[in-house]
Amino acid sequence: MANFHLLVISIVLMGSLVAGNFNDLTEITWGDGRGKILDGGKVHTNVYSQGKGNKEQQFHLWFDPTAAFHTYTIVWNANRIVFLVDEIPIRVYNNHESIGIAYPKNQPMKIYCSLWNADEWATQGGRVKTDWTQAPFTASYKNIKIDGCVVISGASSCASRSTDSANNAKPWETHELDAKGRNRIRWLSLLALVLLSPVWADNFYQDTTVTFGDQRVQMQDGGRLLALSLDKISGSGFQSKNEYLFGRFDMQLKLVPGNSAGTVTTFYLSSQGAGHDEIDFEFLGNSSGQPYTVHTNVYSQGKGNKEQQFRLWFDPTSSFHTYSIVWNSQRIIFLVDNIPIRVFNNHEALGVAFPKNQAMRVYASLWNADDWATQGGRVKTDWSMAPFTASYRNFNTNACVWSAATSTSSCGGSKTESVNNDQTWQTQQLNANGRNRLRWVHQKYMIYNYCADANRFSQGFSPECKRSRF
Ligand SMILES: *[C@@H]1O[C@H](CO)[C@@H](O)[C@H](O)[C@H]1NC(C)=O
């Protein structure tokens, strides 16, 4: 093994440039047989307990970092440290020794990579442990590239360079952001701000509590990701700590993959007690290769019977998609990836109850319903596939928090007029584009509509069925 103390380094991990070889450049520090060097040393697969070593990460990525290899780079010279992702600078740490801030420049460093258990989250207030039934967890490294100054016996390989013209200062030694790099950093903060909204996405640790399933609820990534699992003994679920009276609620979900028959994954709003209100998204699993059913319903004062069901136009198990409920005093809109799939209007004038007087919590759960969920209950849950797992992330609420203690809304006003700050969701309705989208969904993907089930409602449809679906 090479002795590679580095004084100044630039490394590319998971890169595509001239790749170094893990056999030559690295040695396994711990984990015994769990660290494996494959493909002649080009792919390093390490197997660990679940964990996260990069405590400096303060950004959400603009891609799914588990779907493909991406390049993470550290440039370290005497003046600054630049962190890059796929060549895009995400952070610059300048040498500010002149104003008394220590800067790493006198000690050689090695490169370390690891994957480890993050049970310490539990001691920071988390209740959820690593789910060892999912072990082993695996992360892969490839194309390590090091362009640095190697220190051997106290001497740097870059020291003799002044006499060697072929070995003049390398780009990384003076690396700084040009205009493009500065724009990239600006772009990144804008992206994080506008599109990904990770900074104020609700945190599962802070904003939710486990309702059932104990360790089957796992919070990861510092509370930004939550996984629910279901086994033969129990499902699992969580709820928001807050109660809300109107708002927009977004959740990204990745549903149980493979044979999910008999499982139901939910994301819904509900009040408590008799005569409750509820707004439901339920995802009914299916046999491998068969489509999920998205089931929606609205309960007002204890009464439901407003089911509409849909297929999805994508595989909801292969990546995260966004499911949203917009709830204001005039209507409820269900959206999938921002495409409206259903509008439930307030038709109190026609005598149809509408949920608007009871505060609701956000709930999510994964449970077994093989007595009815899949193909009418004919297909049962295959427990040999357990545990089943669904993942939630980027839980976002833009809503009026209701305080039962003081009977006040964070939006001001009383229950009946909580629309007094100007947020889009409070008056949201479909525009022409939204109506077109909804028509498209209804035409191609709607598989059940309570307003069209004459057998079930032989006494006649509910009055709102005669009104516009927008
Ligand atoms: C499961 O797949 C079957 C066959 O494609 C389909 O009829 C059914 O609606 C799907 N969904 C559920 C929840 O049964």
What are the tokens at 377? 């209950």
Note if 348 is an active site residue. no
Residues 276-308: pLDDT tens digits?
A: 999 999 999 999 999 999 999 999 999 999 999
Amino acid at 137: F
> CB of 284 closer than 6 A to ligand 1?
yes
Ligand 1, atom 5, lies closest to the CA of 290
Amino acid at 428: Q
Ligand 1, atom 9, lies closest to the CA of 375
Higher pLDDT, 42 or 200: 200
What are the tokens at 378? 């004919």
> CB of 293 closer than 6 A to ligand 1?
yes
Sheet containing 236-240: which strands, arranged edge to edge?
Answer: 208-212, 236-240, 361-368, 263-270, 278-284, 293-299, 308-310, 446-449
Residues 27-75: pLDDT tens digits?
A: 767 676 666 655 554 333 333 334 443 334 445 667 777 878 888 888 8
Task: Specify the ligand 1 atom closest to the Cα of 373.
Answer: 13
Place of tokens 């007029």: 417
Ligand 1, atom 8, lies closest to the CA of 375
- Which pLDDT score, from 0 to 100, does residue 37 have? 57
Ligand 1 centroid to residue 323 C-alpha, Å = 21
Q: Are 262 and 370 in contact (CB under 8 A)?
A: yes
Ligand 1, atom 13, lies closest to the CA of 374
pLDDT at 16 over 90: no
> CB of 209 closer than 6 A to ligand 1?
no
Confidence band, pLDDT 50/70/90 cuts, at residue 231: very high
Distance CA 160, CA 162 (A): 6
Q: 34-43, 101-110, 326-335, 362-371: lowest mean pLDDT where? A: 34-43
Residues 151-188: pLDDT tens digits?
A: 888 888 887 654 444 446 677 777 777 777 777 766 66
Q: Are 256 and 265 in contact (CB under 8 A)?
A: yes
Mean per-residue pLDDT of the chain: 81
Residue among 256, 287, 307, 375 whose CB has most ligand 1 atoms within 8 A, to mutate: 375
Ligand 1, atom 2, lies closest to the CA of 290
Q: Are 295 and 309 in contact (CB under 8 A)?
A: yes
Q: What is the pTM of this model?
A: 0.61
Confidence band, pLDDT 50/70/90 cuts, at residue 254: very high
> CB of 260 closer than 6 A to ligand 1?
no
Note if 97 is an active site residue. no
Q: Which one of 173, 243, 282, 464 is the catalytic residue?
A: 282
Q: Which one of 173, 243, 278, 464 is the catalytic residue?
A: 278
Q: 267-271, 328-332, 423-427: lowest mean pLDDT where? A: 423-427
Ligand 1 centroid to residue 457 C-alpha, Å = 23
> CB of 312 closer than 6 A to ligand 1?
no
Residue among 263, 290, 308 whose CB has most ligand 1 atoms within 8 A, to mutate: 290
Confidence band, pLDDT 50/70/90 cuts, at residue 209: very high
Average pLDDT score over residue span 420-440: 84
Q: Burial of 384 by CB count in 10 Å (0-12 exposed, 13-18 middle, 19+ buried)? A: exposed
Name the nearest CA neighbour of 115 among 62, 177, 53, 63: 53
Ligand 1 centroid to residue 290 C-alpha, Å = 6
Task: Specify the ligand 1 atom closest to the Cα of 379.
Answer: 14
Ligand 1 centroid to residue 380 C-alpha, Å = 12
Higher pLDDT, 411 or 27: 411
What are the tokens at 167? 């070995």
> CB of 57 closer than 6 A to ligand 1?
no
Name the nearest CA neighbour of 208 among 180, 153, 161, 249: 249
> CB of 156 closer than 6 A to ligand 1?
no
Name the nearest CA neighbour of 387 among 263, 296, 292: 263
68 forms bridges with which residues in the sheet? Answer: none
